Structure 1
Amino acid sequence: MTGFPGFLATELMKRIVLQKPEARFLCLIQPKFQLLAEEQKARFPAGKVQFVLGDIVEEDLGIKTGVLDQPIDEIFHFAAVYDLNVAEAQAFKINVTGTENMIAFANKQSELKRFHYVSTCYVSGRHAGIFRETDLELGQSFNNFYESTKFEAEKRVRQAMVKGLKTTIYRPAVVVGNSQTGETQKFDGPYFIMQWLLRQPGLAILPRLCHPERYTLNIVPSDFVLDAMAYLSQSERSLGKTYHLADSQPLTIEKLISTLGKACERNVLSIPLPKALAKFAVGSIPGLERWLGIPRSSLDYFAHATNYSTDATQGDLAGSGIECPKFSTYAGVLVQFMKTHPELRSRALI
């Protein structure tokens, strides 16, 4: 398991333990996260979680010779840099080189049954129209180096699949907190809007980019993503497939803002503003980006022309009881958690 002690990797492990009580986990840990990893390990039954120190960006994962003395039958590769502002070199090193190293490691495991790779819906880049779970290379351009390097990484995974690596690929949309508790490890994406609305008493002013009634923002709660991954990862039907862990009926930007306004108990006044002008203003006026609390890089996703097909996901989850809840049913839960956890930041573990 990579990505531990991050939120998603940790929570998936909890679900797998419930499904497979005999499961044991070997987690690749960067030395700088060892203390935090020990804290998370204590939440599991004794003997369930073991660590090996290393780093996905290093050859052979930086694991010392002779340290691994046990067979590995499944690999979950979560570790990546999730940052829309990340520099190209860092993004490539972690997302692409790191994935190449994980593939090389996986190919050396004689008893490996499955390589589970966590990609993102946003390998679609700026593709306009429907993006299917079987799609990848459609000549799309990208908004940032996060998207482009996750695209390159998934290309490597698919090439390895063709060569025989038994793989399942998961593409989450914009992941927010747990729909029941609001719990999350970081505040980004839609949370930037919540924070901006809450900073304004009563009537809140929010720029309206392009045509908010045309575009959607595909948001999914972490419990849906994790429940789906836990279920699909243990299904033989999922071998060789790619899944969009996305909302099949995402809200338009217009309805999203209305929903967030209600959740934050604010009346929202939307002021039309072209996206290009908004990005220019946020990027060029000193202090504006910090004052707004809305990163310039996030504005692209409020005029995102891609719609994600979820045919494979819905088909293979049929009968499991696992469905993506409507955003309106849990938006208030997210806001409440954010209000009571001001100590959380907008960046995940790197």
Structure 2
Amino acid sequence: MEVFVMKVFVTGVTGFVGGEFTKKLLQEGHEVISVVRNIEKAEAQFSKSSTITFLTGDLHEPSFGLSNKKLHDLMNGPIDAMYHIAGQVQFGLEYSEYLKTNYSGTKNALDLAKLLEIKNFKYVSTAFTLGLSNSIGKEELYSKETNFNNAYEKSKCMAEHLVMSYSTYFSVSIYRPSVIIGDSKTGEANSDFTLNSFIKIIRLIKKLSESKNESFRFIAPRSSTVNVVPVDYVVAVLFAGLEDDENQTIYHITNSHPPSYRKSIRLITDMLNFDQFTIVNDLKIESMNQSETLFYDKISTLKNYLVRQLTFHNENTIKLLSCSNLKELDVSDEILSTIIHARIPTKLTTEKV
């Protein structure tokens, strides 16, 4: 069977999702173009593949700062699609920083796609643009006036509206992953992703609690869930959209059966040999000990992703996957354990620290 080779422009190739997605494109024989700040770093990540072209540029600049000659060269070879994956995901920054990258950077990507006459624009956003007011996520645009958990979510929502406004120039689609974790088979993941940070904090609290010989209390309402999705599932959905997604359509890359927060805590603490704790539904600030105060301060930016019960509709995604004879991934306890285990040093699973 002859494979139709596509030329795909991808932003964020040196990031977690962008990197894994680009590897998938290359494995399937497609050509990739990407603008990066450091070409040497990018080439090292992809072993100087002959089917990927790196251009030095900056998404904060109009046309990504590419010269007229580079733009002319890009116009000579039709580009089938642009995946805009690059974005500012670090929590705790000023709103202006998120707008600069997640909104203005997206506008620069859209304008470049328009200039290069790219027919398909695919934007990777987040499932959490639903904000704090909603507990049910729908595959549709949310109001820009929603009460958001943080400036990051707001900037992504603003960008989603911007992307949809360009649908008169080319086909646009939006992908919304929830909390992205490691590979479902190997557990491998970028060291900066959310779960890794959470595990590091619990390791710190374990040491502190044991040194003080005091029990730690995790606040975990019985109904709270953690909507996590393995990175390989995110990549599978993005790849399915290369040929089969539809204009002005939003796709949730979420977990229909998310693990409870309590289960996640027990899996992590079991692997860390951390047993000096209890799980409670609530805890008053004035009754917290030193370890608890430190822990809840450090996870303050993650709190609303851990103690909520959210339901995400994903009918569009299921339909998209069916075009490739794929089904949505069920994140079993075994898969979750594999991913968590990969983030914990071996010695911590076999001995006390």
Could you tell me how far apart the structure 2 residues matched to 1:341 and 1:61 are? 43
2:139 paired with 1:93:
no
Q: Distance in 1 between matches of 2:278 and 2:193?
A: 21
3-state secondary structure, aligned to 1:76 = strand
Deviation at 1:93, TM superposition (A): 0.3
1:232-284 Cα distance to aligned partner (Å, 9 max, x none): 2221x434321110001112222332333344454473353758849xx89xx
The whole-number CA distance in structure 2 between the counterparts of 1:301 and 1:225 is 18
Partner of 1:238: 246
Structure-to-structure mapping, 1:5-154, within 5 angstroms: 5-19=14-28, 21=29, 23-30=30-37, 33-42=38-47, 44=49, 46=50, 48-68=51-71, 69-70=73-74, 71=77, 72-110=79-117, 112-137=118-143, 139-154=145-160
Shift of 1:292: 7.3
Give the Å deviation of 1:314: 1.8
Shift of residue 312, structure 1, vs aligned partner: 1.3
Query: Which residue does 1:178 correspond to in 2?
Result: 183
Corresponding residue for residue 166 of structure 2 = 160
Conserved 8 A contact 2:318-2:327: no
TM-score scaled by structure 1? 0.83
Shift of 1:8: 1.6
Question: Structure 2: which 5+ residue stretches go unaligned?
Answer: 1-9, 348-353
1:206–1:269 contact (8 Å) kept in structure 2: yes
Instruction: Work out whether residues 144 and 157 of structure 2, in 8 Å CA contact, stay in contact via their aligned partners in 1.
Output: no
Which residue of structure 1 lines up, in the alignment, with residue 174 of structure 2? 169
Q: In 1, are the aligned partners of 2:114 and 2:169 still within 8 Å (CA)?
A: no
Partner of 1:224: 233
1:269 to 262, 267, 277: 277
- Asked if 2 retains the 8 angstrom alpha-carbon contact of 1:168 and 1:238, the reply is yes
State, as a whole percentage, how many aligned pairs show the same letter.
Answer: 22
2:243 and 2:284 mapped to 1: Cα distance?
45
> Could you say what secondary structure the match of 1:304 adopts?
coil
Matched, 1:295 2:299: yes
User: Partners of 1:266 and 1:286 in 2: how far apart?
Assistant: 14
| Structure 1 unmatched ranges of 5 or more | 343-350
Rounded to whole Å, the distance in 2 between the matches of 1:67 and 1:245 is: 34
- Would you say the 8 A contact 2:144–2:158 is kept in 1? no
Any idea what the Cα deviations from partners look like across 1:200-240, whole Å, max 9, x if unmatched?
Answer: 2799955443x6222222000101110111122221x4343
Going from structure 1 to structure 2, the CA distance change for 1:197 and 1:34 (only over 3 Å counts) comes to same
Please give the alpha-carbon distance, in whole angstroms, between the structure 2 residues aligned to 1:138 and 1:34: 36
Find the aligned partners of 2:284 and 2:55 in 1 and give their Cα distance. Answer: 47
The equivalent residue for 1:311 is 315
Q: CA offsets per residue over residues 28-75 of structure 1, 9 Å max, x none?
A: 111xx322112023263x2x0111111111122111111130332211
Which of 255, 270, 273 in structure 2 is aligned with 1:247? 255
CA offset at residue 327 of structure 1?
A: 4.6
Counterpart AA for 1:300:
N
Cα 1:172–1:276, aligned 2, differ >3 Å: closer, same or farther? farther
Q: Which has the larger radius of gyration?
A: 2
CA 1:139/1:221 → structure 2, altered by over 3 Å: closer, same or farther?
Answer: same
8 Å contact kept, 1:25–1:50 = yes
* Contact 2:218 2:277 (C-alpha < 8 Å) held by counterparts: no
**Secondary structure in 2 matching 1:83:** coil
Quick check: 2:257–2:330 contact (8 Å CA) kept in 1?
no
Report the 3-state secondary structure (helix = DSSP H, G, I; strand = E; otherwise coil) of the residue aligned with 2:70. Answer: coil
Name the counterpart of 1:329. 334
Distance 2:340 2:223 in 1: 25
Given the superposition, is the C-alpha separation of residues 263 and 165 from structure 1 closer, same or farther in structure 2, using an over 3 Å criterion? farther
User: Which stretch shifts more, 294-303 or 174-183?
Assistant: 294-303
Task: Judge which range, 192-201 or 179-188, deviates more.
Answer: 192-201
Secondary structure, aligned partner of 1:151: helix
